[in-house]
């Protein structure tokens, strides 16, 4: 224990012992473990620890200690997780409280701290909540996904070609080995299913009225397509499930913001510049068809094994 504590330097906030290694610091002075834990709560705040003086940090620790009363009374009634490292929104609607990660040490906010929120698909709002109303925007995503049919067909074709080329390359490598020749494997890049995604992230932005936090942001990855079997139906079903959960989150946040506020539907605005025609990959599609043709000739005995192998190498450019 003595090895890992720093007897010379005491915490400037509480006078406690400070760790010798990896201590959090304010104005270059190491903090004790307990005060460092409070400093951790500042992460994501408007002013990180770096920009704080010992005096402003001391004020914060007083504020944080006073928050203990709310932390004790907090009983989670609803929770939304944004995934690994994405944080979570935890609400205690009956007591009008919220916190932004699930730990017992997490600062608790009151409903009066909540100014507004917006849940969006990339930058396009889906739910916007203020004290006046909850705006529910019609999303363009389902229509965009339904229009992906030809893009998905093209993706599947490229994927099949990629798999054939990989198999063929492995076969050529085996043959070369058998002949005792050296062979350099070709690495073809698989077509990326992410290019089919109509948007990348769901976002939650919460605007606060609070001495230490003005805003909290959360991101969650949008659903993706399964590269081995991309399906519009599967995507839409996963998408709808996520939107349903976000709708519930919006309703719960409204219960804190103003439970009597009306809910308004906003129809979809024309979205400009969303032509997402994917780039054609440079997979030599013709080569595959050609090789298959020569494979047929080989099987029928019209050409020899050597001729076939030579033709393959020529067509694959190897
Ligand atoms: Zn301390």
Q: Binning pLDDT at 50, 70 and 90, where does residue 21 land?
A: confident
pLDDT in tens, 27-52: 989 999 999 888 888 765 555 677 88
What φ, ψ does residue 159 adopt, rounded to 5°? Answer: -65, -45
Percent of the chain with pLDDT over 70: 86
106 C-alpha to center of ligand 1: Å? Answer: 18
CATH code, domain with 113: 2.30.29
Residues 62 and 43 reside in one and the same domain = yes
* Strand order through the sheet with 134-137: 215-221, 201-208, 114-121, 124-129, 134-137, 263-266
221/199 Cα distance (integer angstroms): 9
158/75 Cα distance (integer angstroms): 52
Residue 153: which H helix or E strand, with range? helix 149-178
Domain boundary among 44, 66, 88: 66
314/304 Cα distance (integer angstroms): 15
What residue numbers bound the domain in which 301 lies? 163-188+284-316
99/83 Cα distance (integer angstroms): 16
Q: What is the CA radius of gyration of the chain?
A: 29
127/181 Cα distance (integer angstroms): 63
114/210 Cα distance (integer angstroms): 8
- 273: region left, alpha or beta (phi > 0 left; psi from -120 to 50 alpha): left
Residues 112 and 13 reside in one and the same domain = no
The mean pLDDT value for 71-81 works out to 96
At residue 1, does pLDDT exceed 90?
A: no
Q: What is the pLDDT of residue 137?
A: 96
Q: What is the pLDDT of residue 282?
A: 43
Q: Binning pLDDT at 50, 70 and 90, where does residue 274 land?
A: very low
Percent of the chain with pLDDT over 90: 59
110 C-alpha to center of ligand 1: Å? Answer: 27
15 C-alpha to center of ligand 1: Å? Answer: 6
Tell me whether residue 11 is in a domain.
yes
Q: Binning pLDDT at 50, 70 and 90, where does residue 83 land?
A: confident
The mean pLDDT value for 206-216 works out to 91
Assigned token pair, 129: 């909540």
11 C-alpha to center of ligand 1: Å? Answer: 5
Tell me whether residue 30 is in a domain.
yes
30 C-alpha to center of ligand 1: Å? Answer: 9
32 C-alpha to center of ligand 1: Å? Answer: 4
Residue 299: which H helix or E strand, with range? helix 285-299
113 C-alpha to center of ligand 1: Å? Answer: 28
Tell me whether residue 274 is in a domain.
no
229 C-alpha to center of ligand 1: Å? Answer: 55
59 C-alpha to center of ligand 1: Å? Answer: 13
Place of tokens 């595959």: 288
CA distances from 296 to 19, 157, 286, 300, 305 (A): 73, 21, 15, 6, 12
At residue 275, does pLDDT exceed 50?
A: no
Tell me whether residue 278 is in a domain.
no
User: Taking all residues of the chain, what is their mean pLDDT, rounded to a whole number?
Assistant: 86
Residues 212 and 234 reside in one and the same domain = yes
List of residues 6+ apart from 144 with CB closer than 8 A: 198, 274, 276
The answer to whether residues 198 and 276 touch, using CB atoms and an 8 Å cutoff, is yes
Instruction: Please give the tally of structural domains in the chain.
Output: 3
295 vs 155, more confident: 155
213 C-alpha to center of ligand 1: Å? Answer: 22
12 C-alpha to center of ligand 1: Å? Answer: 7
101 C-alpha to center of ligand 1: Å? Answer: 23
Residues 59 and 91 reside in one and the same domain = no
At residue 279, does pLDDT exceed 60?
A: no
98 C-alpha to center of ligand 1: Å? Answer: 27
Tell me whether residue 248 is in a domain.
yes
Residues 177 and 243 reside in one and the same domain = no
Residues 23 and 133 reside in one and the same domain = no
* pTM recorded for the entire structure: 0.76
List of residues 6+ apart from 279 with CB closer than 8 A: 195
At residue 72, does pLDDT exceed 90?
A: yes
Residues 249 and 305 reside in one and the same domain = no
Q: Binning pLDDT at 50, 70 and 90, where does residue 288 land?
A: low
Q: What is the pLDDT of residue 283?
A: 41
Tell me whether residue 193 is in a domain.
no
269 C-alpha to center of ligand 1: Å? Answer: 54
17 C-alpha to center of ligand 1: Å? Answer: 8
Q: What is the pLDDT of residue 7?
A: 60
Q: Binning pLDDT at 50, 70 and 90, where does residue 269 land?
A: low
Residues 55 and 203 reside in one and the same domain = no
Q: What is the pLDDT of residue 318?
A: 55
218 C-alpha to center of ligand 1: Å? Answer: 30
pLDDT in tens, 94-150: 999 999 987 888 899 999 999 999 999 999 999 999 999 999 999 999 999 999 999
Tell me whether residue 55 is in a domain.
yes
73 C-alpha to center of ligand 1: Å? Answer: 25
Q: In terms of Cα–Cα distance, which of 67, 132, 115 is closest to 215?
A: 115
Q: What is the pLDDT of residue 304?
A: 74
Domain boundary among 16, 32, 66: 66
What is the DSSP code string of 173-212? HHHHHHTT---PPP-PPPPPGGGG-S-SEEEEEEEE--SS
121 vs 316, more confident: 121
254/261 Cα distance (integer angstroms): 8
pLDDT in tens, 184-205: 877 778 899 999 999 999 999 9
Residues 137 and 208 reside in one and the same domain = yes
38 C-alpha to center of ligand 1: Å? Answer: 9
Residues 24 and 131 reside in one and the same domain = no
Residues 105 and 254 reside in one and the same domain = yes
288 vs 188, more confident: 188
318/222 Cα distance (integer angstroms): 40
242 C-alpha to center of ligand 1: Å? Answer: 42
Tell me whether residue 219 is in a domain.
yes
Residues 8 and 42 reside in one and the same domain = yes
216 C-alpha to center of ligand 1: Å? Answer: 27
The mean pLDDT value for 294-298 works out to 72
């Amino acid at each position: 224990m003595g090895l890992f504590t720093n007897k010379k330097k005491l915490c400037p906030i509480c006078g406690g012992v400070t760790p010798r290694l990896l201590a959090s610091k304010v104005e270059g002075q190491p903090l004790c473990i307990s005060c460092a834990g409070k400093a951790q709560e500042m992460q994501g705040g408007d002013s990180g620890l770096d920009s704080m003086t010992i005096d402003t940090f001391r004020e914060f620790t007083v504020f944080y200690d006073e928050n203990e009363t709310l932390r004790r009374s907090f009983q989670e009634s609803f929770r939304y997780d944004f995934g690994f490292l994405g944080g979570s929104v935890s609400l205690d609607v009956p007591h009008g409280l919220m916190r932004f990660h699930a730990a017992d040490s997490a600062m608790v906010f009151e409903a009066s701290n909540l100014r507004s929120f917006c849940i969006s698909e990339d930058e396009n709002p889906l739910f916007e909540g203020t004290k006046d109303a909850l705006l529910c925007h019609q999303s363009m995503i389902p229509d965009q996904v339904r229009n992906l049919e030809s893009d998905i067909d093209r993706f599947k074709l490229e994927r099949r070609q990629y798999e054939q080329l990989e198999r063929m390359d492995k076969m050529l490598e085996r043959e070369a080995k058998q002949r005792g020749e050296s062979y350099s494997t070709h690495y073809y890049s698989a077509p990326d299913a992410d290019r089919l995604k109509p948007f990348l992230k769901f976002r939650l932005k919460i605007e606060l009225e609070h001495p230490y936090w003005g805003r909290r942001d959360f991101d969650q990855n949008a659903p993706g397509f399964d590269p081995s079997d991309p399906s519009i139906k599967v995507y839409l079903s996963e998408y709808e499930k996520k939107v349903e959960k976000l709708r519930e989150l919006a309703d719960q946040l409204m219960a804190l913001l103003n439970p009597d506020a009306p809910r308004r539907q906003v129809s979809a605005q024309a979205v400009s510049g969303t032509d997402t025609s994917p780039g054609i990959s440079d997979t030599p599609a013709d080569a595959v068809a050609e090789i298959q043709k020569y494979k047929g000739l080989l099987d029928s005995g019209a050409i020899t094994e050597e001729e076939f192998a030579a033709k393959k190498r020529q067509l694959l450019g190897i």
